[in-house]
Amino acid sequence: MLHVEAELIYEFPGSAEVLLLLEAARSSDQAIQNERLTITPSVEIARLDDSVSGERRAVFSAEGEVVIAYAANVEVLPRDDTLARVEQAPVRDLPGEALRYLRASRYCPSDRFESFCRREFGDLRGGDRVEAILDWIHGHLTYEAGVSDAATTALDTFVDRAGVCRDFAHLAITFCRASDIPARAVSAHAWKLDPPDMHAVAEVYLGGRWRLIDATRKCATNGLVRVAMGLDAADIAFMTVFGRATLVSQTFSVEAVQRGFADHNPPGC
């Protein structure tokens, strides 16, 4: 059982709407308990949750200094993220909702990498190809802050050969889509991520379901609490402000807790 906490403090100079993708997704691979989202000062929260993916979306109005606090206990159910020898389905066998994850997006211009992937990964298909892609990224990219920023695309990262989790995820997604494998970006609360932060990973659709991959190789996938899913970073930002805001502080933490203990001692008490 993982105990997740996040506290975001922002200053909104004028009235703004905030879209928050911070809560654990209500998907079949994770069980959520004792969850609490509090906005201070108190505001009305509209919910735009997505019933298909389980993505949780909170929308509210903010002005002045606002404290957003989230806590939950999440049991990540056993996941099988095996890739080796998993087959790549023909397009006709994909679920309709997976089709869009074959396409190029703002930060994942997969249309530009078809030749490269054909050259580099040759005849490998399915899970073996994804493993080769992850090996390539591990061998050719340096994890380094300060090289990339919010405008950095996978094409930039391919040239720069360095970046952070967002950039690693984008490049993996880009190579997968250029290989006709549906791939999407996932944000997650991540156990043992150092320094603690929201993590950006990816999912590929193989063998009839989505499988998590962490191109940075920093976190075990069963230590990941899935939050938002989308084409790339444009879709999974934990906070989107329609208006202006400045960061005051933000902290994230994920801790392993004993199950019985956590059940009777809700987080934050």
Instruction: Say whether residue 63 binds its own copies (CB under 8 A).
Output: no
Rule CB under 8 A: choose which of 124, 234, 239, 257 binds its own copies: 234
Contacts by 157-165, CB closer than 8 A, 24 or more apart:
158/113, 165/199, 165/200, 165/201, 165/214, 165/215, 165/216, 165/218
Residue 104 amino acid letter = A
Rounded alpha-carbon distances, angstroms, from residue 39 to 36, 59, 60, 62: 10, 11, 9, 9
Least distance (Å) from its own copies to the CB of residue 138?
14
Q: Which is nearer to its own copies, 73 or 105 (CB)?
A: 105
Instruction: Say whether residue 77 binds its own copies (CB under 8 A).
Output: no
Q: Are the CB atoms for 142 and 161 separated by under 8 Å?
A: yes
Residue written as token pair 């391919």: 158
Burial class for 150, CB neighbours closer than 10 Å (0-12, 13-18, 19+): exposed
Least distance (Å) from its own copies to the CB of residue 77?
25
Instruction: Say whether residue 138 binds its own copies (CB under 8 A).
Output: no
Helices (H), 68-161: 114-121, 126-140, 154-160
Rule CB under 8 A: choose which of 31, 77, 91, 247 binds its own copies: 91
Q: How many residues does the chain have?
A: 269
Instruction: Say whether residue 43 binds its own copies (CB under 8 A).
Output: no
Rule CB under 8 A: choose which of 14, 77, 87, 116 binds its own copies: 116
Rule CB under 8 A: choose which of 30, 73, 105, 187 binds its own copies: 105
Least distance (Å) from its own copies to the CB of residue 71?
23
Q: Which is nearer to its own copies, 223 or 230 (CB)?
A: 230
CA distance 167 to 248: 25
CA distance 258 to 260: 6
Instruction: Say whether residue 162 binds its own copies (CB under 8 A).
Output: yes
Residue 263 amino acid letter = D
Instruction: Say whether residue 103 binds its own copies (CB under 8 A).
Output: yes
Instruction: Say whether residue 231 binds its own copies (CB under 8 A).
Output: yes
Instruction: Say whether residue 17 binds its own copies (CB under 8 A).
Output: yes
Q: Would you give the binding string for its own copies spanning residues 190-229, x where CB under 8 A is met?
A: ----------------------------------------
Instruction: Say whether residue 115 binds its own copies (CB under 8 A).
Output: yes
DSSP, res 257? -
Residues 6+ apart with CB under 8 A from 97: 52
Instruction: Say whether residue 239 binds its own copies (CB under 8 A).
Output: no
> Which residues of this chain interact with its own copies, rule CB under 8 A?
17, 19, 46, 48-50, 57, 59-61, 90-96, 99-100, 103-106, 109, 111-113, 115-116, 119, 140, 142, 147, 150-151, 155, 158-162, 180, 230-231, 234-235, 242
